[in-house]
Structure 1
Amino acid sequence: MSDSLFTKEDVQSRITFKTQRKYAESKANQITPYPNLNQIYDAIDVSQWNLRKKDVIQLEQTTEENQIILNAHILPIIEKYRKDGYEICFISDMYLSSFFLKGVLKKFKLCNDNDSIYVSCECKATKNDGTLYDYIRNERKVKYKNWVHFGDNKISDFQIPQKKGIQAYWYTYTNFTEHEKNWLRNASFYNHKNEIELYAGLTRAVRLAQPKDSKTTLAADLVAPLYIPYVYFTLVESQQRKINQIYFLARDGHILFQIAKQFQSIFPDISLHYLKISRRAIYPCYFYDGSYEEFLWILKRADGHEIGSALFHIGIDWDQLPDSKHVRFHKEQLLNSESIAELADYLSRNFCKEIVKKAESSRNNLLAYLNQENFLQAPHKAIVDLGWEGSVRICLNKILKKENFSQTYAFYWGYSNRVIHSKNNNVSFFRYEDSRNQPHAAEVMEHYVSANSSGSAMEYKRINNSVIPIETKQRDCLTEIQLINEGISCQIAKEYLSTINNKDANRDIFLCCGYRTLNDTLEFPNSDEAKIFSLIKADDFEKTYYIAEKLRFKDFITLFIWGHTFYPKWKEAAMSLTLKKKAKLVMKFAEITSSSKFMEIIRWVLKKISRFFL
């Protein structure tokens, strides 16, 4: 309502109106129990803002109607009882009139002309204390035993009518999820409590409009509150920086691109694009002189990975090395700081000319693709990406600078403390740091939250008059998750601006809803969430593995003795996937056993035995 009543600059009036409207209901209730909307506004002097009470009441009713989203799951229940000959009545503890509510219900085809509406402000009774049920019984001359009631409030819709003998059903599917309840509980710790509560209601409404499914629930509770605030932040910052071309980088940026399109009408001067660029496609373009420093920088990005995979990512096949069968490295060797320096030295001395020639060819195709997408010509542009370090951004700007094109501004969400900072202040970071959860954050963000069935761009080829990104094999297993994540996020994004009006509110929603849910999920996902993660394969430098896997027998043994699993895996997700509701209990038991004196002796004995055999 504040958006319609006051300008964005009139912050004082916005705050004052919200505060007075919030407390007007309790003030009116002290004068007249069960007040209606007109009596509530009698408790506010709206003339202080040069407003008329009649106009403000009409605006509130219009706002209420526009924000209502149909719960489609209740429709067949109503129709069943209607066909069975039951009289249908709608009852509510509400300050809006029965005439208004009937009009809204009829709009959604929930209510017929001969259905009755009972509201507390007209009946002067409430469901919460049971008096509204008594009022209806006396007016309609109905016996409680012949009354069937559906509602989503455990007390007023279930416990109280049950005590009266009504056949009551607690319709729990309309309830908030555990994550949404956490948002509401923690909203009071943030400056924009009202906006967080509105966002929780919006999320619930969109979720309930879909078929009941754990994938839909996780998309609404995790994906949307993470990415919608990031996209909004990006667009607001772009507008302030006079950036009018935004390129979302594939594949992680596809969902961000779809969300941004929902805000297009609010930011009409910003043009949105999707650019197919990846590490695999841009690393081979990085080399200009084949120096030790160039090889060292690129190889550092592959720290901890096999040498063969690292070389493949920069466009070098192991067998192409001049003396690959005689070098002191082997293909499966894992890179570390020492071997990275040695390999960089070896390549700069023995493979310099070949890599520079290959890089030039790859780079020409990359530049042709960028030119085709109108990226090179755009003077006020930015890229949007997320990831571990931000190496694609660094590579791209190095190439643009070397080729005498204007460098691009960047919006980057780095979910680790290894994010590469910029020396020339051409990047806005949207990031958090949590060293406990970094590895799993990368897996969940890249491979679930940004789930994309398309292949990753490997290189660019000129075909006829076009430059085509050549992609890896499509991942069909992610199609359903991608459609759900993008669909739910876009639906919530459409209504998002009705819940916020500034960047600070956007940040609070991200911290209270998105960031908190991500941390809670990483700390210990429930069994439904773990099951979703178990469907997803992560890929990193040619290595593939499932995000979550069930525990094996060896894992249980090492868990109880050493406190960790035998196979490297996301322990908490594995526990939930294997043991479901008992997971936390078993985890606690494992913590106790692994720290006990007895297990300390067992570990000592096993260590001695292993040394004997070795």
Structure 2
Amino acid sequence: MANNIFFLLSRKLYPDSKAKQECFFEWRVEAENIVRLKKVMPYPTLDDIYSIYPSERFSEYDCQYVKKSELEIEWKNLRKNRQIESIIKDRRSKGFEIAFISDMYLDSRFVRNVLEDEGLCEKGDRIYISSECKKSKSDGLLFDYVYKDLRPEYWCHYGDNKRSDFINARKKNIDAKLIRNTEYTPIEKYILKIYKNTRNFYLCSCLIGFARYARISVCGEENYDIVGFSSDVVIPIYLSFVCDILAVSEKEGFKRLYFLARDGWLLFHIAKMLTGESGNLELKYLYVSRKSLYLPTVDTLDRLNVERCFGIKDGGLTIEKIISYFKLEGFVDCASIDEGNKKNEKSRLNSLFSWLGNQSGNALVNQYIANEKQEINRYFRQEGLLDHIPYAFVDVGWKGSGLNAINMLQKRYGIQPSVCFYWHTFKRCRNDFPINFYTHNRNIDLPIYFISLVEDFLSANPQLSTVGYRTENGLTVPVFDPNSMVDNEVVAQTNKAVAEIIIACIREFGLMKEVSVILAAMEETLINAVMYRPYLLPIRALAKLKYYNERTGTKSGLSKKLNLYQAFKYITGCDIHELWAEACICYTYPKVGKYLINTHYAASKVLRFVRRKLHS
């Protein structure tokens, strides 16, 4: 979008004057049309456009400086398309002559320099620019001009404009191929439509442009959907969160932030990218998990202490959960506990706590607890958690049980309990623990499938889960669970690569100070799209993720193909027992997913009405 270039140029020229920014932008948008009408130039060059530069109105800069600044911004924005690059290499290897054709006001020398810098153009390649040839692809005449000059026996044309590069080329009997990876995605079109008449439209448009650039740069054949979901959903949402964290941290005087493993991995890297090396806020990554934290918080492993860690009464506890999170596999004999209690969870729990309370069980476990306490104390001291400076934690959230465990340890060490920045917390759980936290998305009720979406995609990471600590050569290091690897490393590295590109663009074009406002608005729009318009998203990316389905005891994709019976049940308003039924519908029927979802909601209302009538 050319207007984005003019928007960025206006910011560069007048960083401290909103009025001058707006007026210069409006002039530059109209300048090309003014030249066409007043000077009767249907294909004006950049020199033609700047020949009408209003130097009295914008007296701070002369014409040549402004034109040079525009070319610099153009250069930064023109980047190669990997798909086109591979096509060019393939065609060259087969003996094809390569020529470049473009409708634009920039001259061929500038375009050649950019193409050569990107490794796309060789010395003998021809370049045809509409403003120089005085012909255009938009009416097909530039194709005639090129044909007369080259006289090709066979002409294959690649381009991303459906009318100019595909339809018009086909009319000239050219074998035209439409390149689609530069198109705006459905969610990008939706966001641009929403903000079209707002003051921040062009700031939003630039961010969408950065996302498109990241998508084109990182995208390959195998990860196309993953890159699309990352650039359009993951990074805008997490950028908004981290910008909020950094702003509040500066306001409240925090000197250090600890990003909690594993969900804080991408957030940690985004924060480092945003603050740079010279930031006043120290950023650290803390290897913790509930499995590494729960046991050191207790003196004795009795029912009261276990319930305090989980934040639930025995109605929500299970033997398996206690053994897993308190790492009792080497101590507890489940066979003896299960004897006579297989169908009674309450009796099983009573047997477990009875064993833990007897002399032999108590001694074994207490020694284990003492060792865990010693190691985590060393790790916390080593990582600076015992320093008397203001610091906070960062995590994705949900209940706050992890922060509760850390706070209990802080109190044990005589440290004031620290707060945590959470992306979201469930309202029903906000008073389960005596902790203090900041919830980024405080007033939104999110469906349960967001847990899997956030943990398995937004917070995808290449790490194992921390289960404890050990000291080696004076250094305390985390101990990992070798069976905790989640098969989402491709997603994790894609998210990080996309974040690097988008943040680099934000920095390069000087938008750091203003970007948080539009990111917050985009995040709200994206969350609503996930909940109510999933058909706008590249849902296929979620089919590669696997979450554990407690109902069936199996692993399943967050979006999966439905059979006809399941689809029929859904359309008629029934529950198909999938974690995210709408995602499955959109994945199975991408072209009509929107209409099937609307039909489901309408049918659900009818069913509820009928049931009320039957029971009244």
Is 2:187–2:536's contact at 8 Å kept on the other side of the alignment?
no
Query: 1:437-586 counterparts in 2 under 5 A?
Result: 437-463=446-472, 465-472=474-481, 473-475=483-485, 477-498=487-508, 501-502=511-512, 504-512=514-522, 514-523=523-532, 525=534, 529-538=538-547, 545-548=555-558, 549-551=560-562, 555=566, 559=570, 563-565=574-576, 567-579=577-589, 581=591
| Aligned match of 1:611 | none
| Aligned match of 1:204 | 212
- Taking structure 1 as reference, are residues 141 and 348 closer, same or farther at Cα in structure 2, changes over 3 Å only? closer
- Taking structure 1 as reference, are residues 408 and 89 closer, same or farther at Cα in structure 2, changes over 3 Å only? same
CA distance in 2, matches of 1:302, 1:171: 58
The one of 384, 388, 396 equivalent to 1:386 is 396
- Taking structure 1 as reference, are residues 171 and 557 closer, same or farther at Cα in structure 2, changes over 3 Å only? closer
CA distance in 2, matches of 1:230, 1:39: 45
SS at match of 1:477: coil
The one of 158, 172, 197 equivalent to 1:150 is 158
SS at match of 1:208: helix
Is 1:224–1:488's contact at 8 Å kept on the other side of the alignment?
yes
Does structure 1 residue 219 correspond to structure 2 residue 230?
yes
Is 2:186–2:536's contact at 8 Å kept on the other side of the alignment?
no
Tell me how far 1:516 sits from its aligned partner: 3.4
Is 2:380–2:386's contact at 8 Å kept on the other side of the alignment?
yes
CA distance in 2, matches of 1:529, 1:304: 39
Query: 1:366-381 counterparts in 2 under 5 A?
Result: 366-377=376-387, 379-381=389-391
Of stretches 375-384 and 534-543 in structure 1, the one that deviates more from structure 2 is 534-543
- Taking structure 1 as reference, are residues 111 and 550 closer, same or farther at Cα in structure 2, changes over 3 Å only? closer
The one of 183, 188, 191 equivalent to 2:191 is 183
Tell me how far 1:480 sits from its aligned partner: 2.5
- Taking structure 1 as reference, are residues 286 and 301 closer, same or farther at Cα in structure 2, changes over 3 Å only? farther
- Taking structure 1 as reference, are residues 596 and 89 closer, same or farther at Cα in structure 2, changes over 3 Å only? same
- Taking structure 1 as reference, are residues 538 and 75 closer, same or farther at Cα in structure 2, changes over 3 Å only? closer
Of stretches 372-381 and 552-561 in structure 1, the one that deviates more from structure 2 is 552-561
Does structure 1 residue 31 correspond to structure 2 residue 5?
no
- Taking structure 1 as reference, are residues 77 and 314 closer, same or farther at Cα in structure 2, changes over 3 Å only? closer
Q: Name the aligned partner's letter for residue 268 of structure 2.
A: F
Is 1:246–1:384's contact at 8 Å kept on the other side of the alignment?
yes
| Aligned match of 1:92 | 102
**Count of residues paired in the alignment:** 591
CA distance in 2, matches of 1:422, 1:600: 38
SS at match of 2:441: coil
Tell me how far 1:400 sits from its aligned partner: 1.9
Of stretches 438-447 and 231-240 in structure 1, the one that deviates more from structure 2 is 231-240
CA distance in 2, matches of 1:106, 1:366: 56
Tell me how far 1:316 sits from its aligned partner: 8.0
SS at match of 2:158: strand
Is 1:310–1:541's contact at 8 Å kept on the other side of the alignment?
no
CA distance in 2, matches of 1:16, 1:169: 40
The one of 21, 24, 30 equivalent to 2:28 is 21
CA distance in 1, matches of 2:309, 2:124: 73
Does structure 1 residue 259 correspond to structure 2 residue 270?
yes
Q: Give CA-to-partner distance per residue, 1:168-190, whole Å, 9 cap, x none.
A: 22222332222222233233254
CA distance in 1, matches of 2:303, 2:533: 43
- Taking structure 1 as reference, are residues 527 and 579 closer, same or farther at Cα in structure 2, changes over 3 Å only? farther
- Taking structure 1 as reference, are residues 594 and 376 closer, same or farther at Cα in structure 2, changes over 3 Å only? closer
CA distance in 2, matches of 1:6, 1:291: 66
Tell me how far 1:74 sits from its aligned partner: 1.5
Does structure 1 residue 60 correspond to structure 2 residue 70?
yes
Q: Give CA-to-partner distance per residue, 1:152-209, whole Å, 9 cap, x none.
A: 0011111223223333222223322222222332332543211221222222222222
CA distance in 2, matches of 1:284, 1:445: 27
SS at match of 2:181: helix
Is 1:286–1:395's contact at 8 Å kept on the other side of the alignment?
yes
Does structure 1 residue 161 correspond to structure 2 residue 174?
no
Query: 1:228-307 counterparts in 2 under 5 A?
Result: 228-265=239-276, 267-287=278-298, 297-300=308-311, 305-307=316-318
Is 2:457–2:545's contact at 8 Å kept on the other side of the alignment?
yes
| Aligned match of 1:73 | 83
CA distance in 2, matches of 1:506, 1:412: 17
CA distance in 1, matches of 2:436, 2:24: 40
Q: Name the aligned partner's letter for residue 396 of structure 1.
A: I
Q: Give CA-to-partner distance per residue, 1:427-448, whole Å, 9 cap, x none.
A: 543225443x421111100112
Tell me how far 1:414 sits from its aligned partner: 0.9
- Taking structure 1 as reference, are residues 423 and 332 closer, same or farther at Cα in structure 2, changes over 3 Å only? closer
- Taking structure 1 as reference, are residues 552 and 156 closer, same or farther at Cα in structure 2, changes over 3 Å only? closer
- Taking structure 1 as reference, are residues 559 and 288 closer, same or farther at Cα in structure 2, changes over 3 Å only? same
Is 1:203–1:492's contact at 8 Å kept on the other side of the alignment?
yes
Q: Give CA-to-partner distance per residue, 1:271-318, whole Å, 9 cap, x none.
A: 332111122322334447999986655343589854324434663859
Is 1:179–1:221's contact at 8 Å kept on the other side of the alignment?
yes
Does structure 1 residue 115 correspond to structure 2 residue 125?
yes
The one of 412, 415, 423 equivalent to 2:422 is 412
Is 1:535–1:546's contact at 8 Å kept on the other side of the alignment?
no
CA distance in 1, matches of 2:128, 2:399: 59
CA distance in 1, matches of 2:317, 2:254: 40
CA distance in 1, matches of 2:429, 2:37: 56
CA distance in 1, matches of 2:356, 2:19: 63
CA distance in 1, matches of 2:468, 2:548: 18
SS at match of 1:173: coil
CA distance in 2, matches of 1:569, 1:430: 24
SS at match of 1:66: helix
CA distance in 1, matches of 2:436, 2:27: 43
SS at match of 2:427: coil
Tell me how far 1:369 sits from its aligned partner: 0.9
Of stretches 425-434 and 438-447 in structure 1, the one that deviates more from structure 2 is 425-434
Is 2:79–2:118's contact at 8 Å kept on the other side of the alignment?
no
Is 1:220–1:488's contact at 8 Å kept on the other side of the alignment?
yes
Tell me how far 1:116 sits from its aligned partner: 2.9
- Taking structure 1 as reference, are residues 510 and 121 closer, same or farther at Cα in structure 2, changes over 3 Å only? farther
- Taking structure 1 as reference, are residues 330 and 109 closer, same or farther at Cα in structure 2, changes over 3 Å only? same
Give the structure-2-normalised TM-score. 0.79
| Aligned match of 2:5 | none
Seq. identity, % = 24
SS at match of 1:149: strand
Is 2:311–2:432's contact at 8 Å kept on the other side of the alignment?
no
- Taking structure 1 as reference, are residues 95 and 510 closer, same or farther at Cα in structure 2, changes over 3 Å only? farther
CA distance in 1, matches of 2:241, 2:609: 47
Q: Give CA-to-partner distance per residue, 1:297-351, whole Å, 9 cap, x none.
A: 5343589854324434663859599x978999977579xxxx9xx99x9999999
CA distance in 2, matches of 1:325, 1:535: 37
Is 1:292–1:348's contact at 8 Å kept on the other side of the alignment?
no
Consecutive unaligned residues in structure 1, runs of 5 or more: 608-614
Tell me how far 1:386 sits from its aligned partner: 0.9
